[in-house]
Amino acid sequence: MIHDAVNNGEQFSVSFGMKEREEIVSTEGLRVKQGKETRLKDFDTGYTGDLTKERGIELLDASRKTLAAIQDKLYAHNRYSVLIIFQAMDAAGKDGAVKHIMSGFNPLGVKVTSFKTPTPHELEHDFFWRHYLALPARGEIAIHNRSHYENVLITRVHPEYVLQENIPGIGSVADITDDFWEDRFKQINRFEKNLVKNGTVIIKFFLHLSKKEQKKRFLERIDDPSKNWKFSTGDIQERAHWKEYQEAYEQAINATSQDHAPWFIIPADDKWYARLAIASVIAEKFEALDIRYPSISEEQKAALQKARTQLTGEE
């Protein structure tokens, strides 16, 4: 099963804006609790609850409207910013999740950044630098497709990449010890804690894909000419490190899932459920914020009525 919370029926009812669209969707069962050792193998990559695909898609459509309405209020309130992080193995559906879930948002208040291999210029700064530049302003939502966590994931599997950062005291792979990674986890926790203290809501998603499903999606990309561009021979090379990546994700998630910035492990073998689960978590986080449209003074209300009288009196 996906998690003990699901087995025990401890589920959250997430409203998508209309009572008839309410559905029981687990969010607590997806959350990695601070200080609790989590094993990825205990999370079912194919979990879909009792939902049918048709019902799930219906709820996802409704959720877009709810998220769009809350985003409008977030922008007007202008106190909080939201950082949504997506991490996953190749072909897990990060791009599709961004496309389908965020389609209802006003693009003026949302920016999506997909982080690739660091450039030589980016490597001349600390590993947070390029991510800091892409953080959301107050009232905005930023979506990071891959993130600063790449610096404890791909570099954990390929520690030789760390040497490109020219860090003092790191002259060879032998210098990259367990203490190095523990210190980097602490840096990440401090970085995120500072953001939260200054009004940024952080939501972190790991799209948990099975190796079998990844193989299926890779073959689809190879066999479908319209998807050939999505496939790279490097994907096969990284797939050979599947076990190492699972261990790196597990360690990173356990070390950095904090109450103020939790990780959510999303079953990703069925794209429709993954998207619905992500939307459910985001909606719940939004609804927990104390946000509202700005109120106006009596003097401002009087000015509005005066303007209305003038407008309605025009010929």
Q: Tell me the backbone φ, ψ of residue 44, rounded to 5 degrees.
A: -75, 115
Regions of the chain where pLDDT drops below 70: 1-25
Give the whole-angstrom CA distance, residue 152 versus residue 309: 61
Residue 101 and residue 60 in contact, taking contact as beta carbons nearer than 8 Å: yes
Q: Which two tokens stand for residue 47?
A: 């979990």
The pLDDT value recorded for residue 65 is 83
Give the whole-angstrom CA distance, residue 59 versus residue 285: 17
Give the whole-angstrom CA distance, residue 315 versus residue 186: 67
The pLDDT value recorded for residue 104 is 75
Strand partners, 81: 200
The pLDDT value recorded for residue 290 is 86
The pLDDT value recorded for residue 263 is 98
The pLDDT value recorded for residue 11 is 37
Three-state DSSP at 31 gives strand
What pLDDT digit, counting tens, does each position of 61-114 carry? 888 888 888 899 999 999 999 999 999 999 999 999 998 877 778 888 999 999
Three-state DSSP at 243 gives helix
Q: Which two tokens stand for residue 97?
A: 């999740």
Give the whole-angstrom CA distance, residue 211 versus residue 245: 11
